[in-house]
Amino acid sequence: MLPESLVEPLQQEIARVRLIHDDDIGAGFGEVWLPHALARKYPNAGRELGWQYVFPSLKRSRDPRSGQIRRHHVDEKSLQRAVKNAVRAAGLSKPASCHTFRHSFATHLLEQGYDIRTVQELLGHKDASTTMVYTHVLNRGGRGVVSPLDR
């Protein structure tokens, strides 16, 4: 699911990617790697904007599979490092990582009253028992129940 508040920033990012891609095409590059069957079926797809990474690397590099110069995606380790630095800068005593956001997402949905099947689907779990792990933080006893009269 994409939050409404991120639609405009994402559109701005795609506009930025279009400019980068146009520059790459103008310089004789601009093709991303596609799985072999897809590349054979759609030989020009790797040069189309729709196949470009939303978060491209700042630099082009040599693709180890083909030897071609291409622009890959931003390394996920960059984001992991940024989160780690933010956790440290915030002075948090508990460990947190990118995966913590996934747990927080699921927990907040359950706290807001969304059913376990909806959360299961959003997280991509095949079995509801995997999603049930998130309910342990909701054990609030009778104090966690809000009277319908108070709503």
In tens, the pLDDT along 13-38 reads 999 999 999 999 999 999 999 988 99
CA angle 78, 84, 89 (to 5 degrees): 125
Where in the chain are the domains? Answer: 4-74, 78-140
What's the pLDDT tens digit per position in 94-128?
999 999 999 899 989 988 889 999 999 999 999 98
What is the Cα–Cα distance from 142 to 25, expressed in whole angstroms?
Answer: 62
- Identify the residue with better confidence: 124 or 140: 124
pLDDT at residue 143 tops 80 = no
CA 101 to chain centre: 10
Contact in structure between 69 and 60 (CB atoms under 8 Å): yes
Give the C-alpha separation, 126 to 2, whole Å. Answer: 21
